[in-house]
Protein backbone atom coordinates (compact mmCIF):
# COMPACT_ATOMS: atom_id res chain seq x y z
CA UNK A 1 0.00 0.00 0.00
CA UNK A 2 1.16 3.53 -0.67
CA UNK A 3 3.07 5.32 2.05
CA UNK A 4 0.46 8.05 2.35
CA UNK A 5 -0.14 9.48 5.79
CA UNK A 6 -3.21 11.09 7.30
CA UNK A 7 -1.55 14.49 6.93
CA UNK A 8 -1.03 13.86 3.20
CA UNK A 9 -4.73 13.44 2.45
CA UNK A 10 -6.35 15.59 5.14
CA UNK A 11 -8.28 18.77 4.52
CA UNK A 12 -6.61 21.50 6.58
CA UNK A 13 -8.78 22.86 9.38
CA UNK A 14 -8.87 26.36 7.85
CA UNK A 15 -10.50 24.87 4.72
CA UNK A 16 -13.09 22.69 6.46
CA UNK A 17 -16.30 24.32 7.74
CA UNK A 18 -16.63 24.54 11.49
CA UNK A 19 -18.90 26.28 13.94
CA UNK A 20 -19.09 27.12 17.64
CA UNK A 21 -21.17 24.81 19.86
CA UNK A 22 -23.72 27.56 20.59
CA UNK A 23 -24.79 27.91 16.94
CA UNK A 24 -28.39 26.92 16.23
CA UNK A 25 -29.56 24.30 13.76
CA UNK A 26 -30.58 27.19 11.47
CA UNK A 27 -27.04 28.61 11.52
CA UNK A 28 -25.57 25.14 10.90
CA UNK A 29 -27.86 24.68 7.89
CA UNK A 30 -26.72 28.06 6.55
CA UNK A 31 -23.06 27.12 7.04
CA UNK A 32 -23.49 23.80 5.22
CA UNK A 33 -25.46 25.43 2.40
CA UNK A 34 -22.73 27.97 1.66
CA UNK A 35 -19.76 25.59 2.04
CA UNK A 36 -18.01 23.97 -0.89
CA UNK A 37 -14.78 22.02 -0.55
CA UNK A 38 -12.21 22.36 -3.32
CA UNK A 39 -9.90 19.36 -3.03
CA UNK A 40 -7.31 18.54 -5.70
CA UNK A 41 -9.32 20.26 -8.40
CA UNK A 42 -12.56 18.54 -7.38
CA UNK A 43 -15.50 20.25 -5.71
CA UNK A 44 -17.66 18.57 -3.13
CA UNK A 45 -20.15 19.49 -0.46
CA UNK A 46 -19.30 18.81 3.17
CA UNK A 47 -21.58 16.33 4.92
CA UNK A 48 -20.67 17.51 8.39
CA UNK A 49 -19.44 20.47 10.40
CA UNK A 50 -16.83 20.41 13.13
CA UNK A 51 -18.04 21.88 16.42
CA UNK A 52 -15.66 23.78 18.71
CA UNK A 53 -15.91 25.34 22.17
CA UNK A 54 -14.90 28.87 23.20
CA UNK A 55 -11.26 27.80 23.61
CA UNK A 56 -11.25 26.33 20.10
CA UNK A 57 -11.21 22.75 21.37
CA UNK A 58 -12.98 20.24 19.16
CA UNK A 59 -16.14 18.99 20.85
CA UNK A 60 -17.85 17.02 18.14
CA UNK A 61 -19.21 16.71 14.66
CA UNK A 62 -22.67 17.48 13.41
CA UNK A 63 -23.76 15.63 10.30
CA UNK A 64 -26.61 16.51 7.95
CA UNK A 65 -28.65 13.66 9.41
CA UNK A 66 -28.11 14.99 12.96
CA UNK A 67 -29.49 18.34 11.84
CA UNK A 68 -32.46 16.69 10.12
CA UNK A 69 -33.12 14.64 13.22
CA UNK A 70 -33.04 17.81 15.31
CA UNK A 71 -35.54 19.45 12.97
CA UNK A 72 -37.87 16.48 13.04
CA UNK A 73 -41.12 17.11 14.90
CA UNK A 74 -40.99 15.70 18.43
CA UNK A 75 -43.90 13.32 17.93
CA UNK A 76 -41.85 11.39 15.33
CA UNK A 77 -38.91 10.76 17.67
CA UNK A 78 -40.41 7.62 19.18
CA UNK A 79 -40.69 5.93 15.77
CA UNK A 80 -37.85 3.59 14.95
CA UNK A 81 -36.19 4.08 11.59
CA UNK A 82 -34.77 0.55 11.80
CA UNK A 83 -38.06 -1.28 11.90
CA UNK A 84 -38.04 -4.79 10.49
CA UNK A 85 -41.54 -4.32 9.17
CA UNK A 86 -42.34 -3.52 5.62
CA UNK A 87 -42.81 0.17 4.82
CA UNK A 88 -46.36 -0.77 3.85
CA UNK A 89 -47.12 -1.99 7.38
CA UNK A 90 -47.23 1.45 8.96
CA UNK A 91 -49.33 2.14 12.00
CA UNK A 92 -51.52 5.18 11.77
CA UNK A 93 -50.23 7.73 14.24
CA UNK A 94 -52.95 10.16 15.30
CA UNK A 95 -50.31 12.87 15.55
CA UNK A 96 -49.74 12.65 11.81
CA UNK A 97 -53.07 14.40 11.38
CA UNK A 98 -51.28 17.48 12.73
CA UNK A 99 -48.85 17.43 9.84
CA UNK A 100 -49.85 20.01 7.36
CA UNK A 101 -47.39 22.10 5.44
CA UNK A 102 -48.03 25.12 7.68
CA UNK A 103 -47.76 23.15 10.90
CA UNK A 104 -44.67 21.32 9.76
CA UNK A 105 -43.02 24.55 8.65
CA UNK A 106 -43.86 26.22 11.96
CA UNK A 107 -42.52 23.23 13.91
CA UNK A 108 -39.27 23.17 11.93
CA UNK A 109 -38.83 26.94 12.39
CA UNK A 110 -39.15 26.43 16.13
CA UNK A 111 -36.86 23.37 16.16
CA UNK A 112 -34.26 25.32 14.14
CA UNK A 113 -33.47 27.35 17.28
CA UNK A 114 -32.07 24.29 19.09
CA UNK A 115 -28.36 24.72 19.79
CA UNK A 116 -26.08 22.47 17.81
CA UNK A 117 -24.45 20.95 20.91
CA UNK A 118 -27.74 19.14 21.58
CA UNK A 119 -27.60 17.15 18.34
CA UNK A 120 -23.86 16.87 17.59
CA UNK A 121 -21.96 13.62 17.82
CA UNK A 122 -18.98 13.49 20.19
CA UNK A 123 -15.62 12.78 18.63
CA UNK A 124 -15.37 9.01 18.29
CA UNK A 125 -11.72 8.82 17.31
CA UNK A 126 -8.84 10.78 15.89
CA UNK A 127 -5.59 10.02 14.10
CA UNK A 128 -2.19 11.67 14.13
CA UNK A 129 -1.02 13.44 10.98
CA UNK A 130 1.80 10.91 10.62
CA UNK A 131 -0.47 7.87 10.96
CA UNK A 132 -0.38 5.58 7.93
CA UNK A 133 -3.38 5.35 5.59
CA UNK A 134 -3.93 1.78 6.80
CA UNK A 135 -4.54 3.03 10.33
CA UNK A 136 -6.95 5.67 9.05
CA UNK A 137 -8.91 2.97 7.18
CA UNK A 138 -8.91 0.71 10.24
CA UNK A 139 -10.22 3.44 12.53
CA UNK A 140 -12.93 4.44 10.04
CA UNK A 141 -14.14 0.87 9.69
CA UNK A 142 -13.86 -0.05 13.36
CA UNK A 143 -15.69 3.09 14.55
CA UNK A 144 -18.05 3.38 11.56
CA UNK A 145 -16.86 6.93 10.83
CA UNK A 146 -16.84 8.98 7.64
CA UNK A 147 -14.78 11.83 9.07
CA UNK A 148 -11.80 11.69 11.42
CA UNK A 149 -10.01 14.66 12.99
CA UNK A 150 -6.26 14.77 12.40
CA UNK A 151 -4.07 15.88 15.30
CA UNK A 152 -0.59 17.36 15.58
CA UNK A 153 0.78 17.95 19.07
CA UNK A 154 -2.69 17.36 20.49
CA UNK A 155 -4.31 20.06 18.34
CA UNK A 156 -6.74 19.51 15.48
CA UNK A 157 -5.07 20.48 12.20
CA UNK A 158 -7.52 18.96 9.74
CA UNK A 159 -9.86 16.12 8.89
CA UNK A 160 -9.75 13.03 6.73
CA UNK A 161 -12.96 12.07 4.96
CA UNK A 162 -13.84 8.56 3.82
CA UNK A 163 -14.29 9.86 0.26
CA UNK A 164 -10.65 11.02 0.24
CA UNK A 165 -9.48 7.68 1.63
CA UNK A 166 -11.53 5.94 -1.05
CA UNK A 167 -9.93 8.14 -3.71
CA UNK A 168 -6.46 7.10 -2.49
CA UNK A 169 -7.46 3.44 -2.62
CA UNK A 170 -8.78 3.95 -6.17
CA UNK A 171 -5.41 5.42 -7.14
CA UNK A 172 -3.75 2.26 -5.87
CA UNK A 173 -6.17 -0.17 -7.50
CA UNK A 174 -6.91 1.46 -10.84
Q: Which parts of the chain fold into alpha helices (H)?
A: 6-9, 25-34, 64-71, 101-111, 133-143, 162-173
Which H or E run includes 87? none
Backbone angles phi, psi at 54, to 5 degrees: -65, -25
In tens, the pLDDT along 76-94 reads 665 555 555 565 565 656 5
Report d(CA 110, CA 149) in Å as an integer: 32
In tens, the pLDDT along 118-144 reads 999 999 899 999 999 999 999 999 999
Q: How much is the pTM?
A: 0.81
Amino acid sequence: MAAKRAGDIMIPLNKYPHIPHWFTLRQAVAELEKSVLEINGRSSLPRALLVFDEKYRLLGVVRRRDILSGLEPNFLHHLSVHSERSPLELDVDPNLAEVSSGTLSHTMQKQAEIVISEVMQPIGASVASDDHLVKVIHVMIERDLNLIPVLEDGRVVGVVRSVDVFHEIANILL
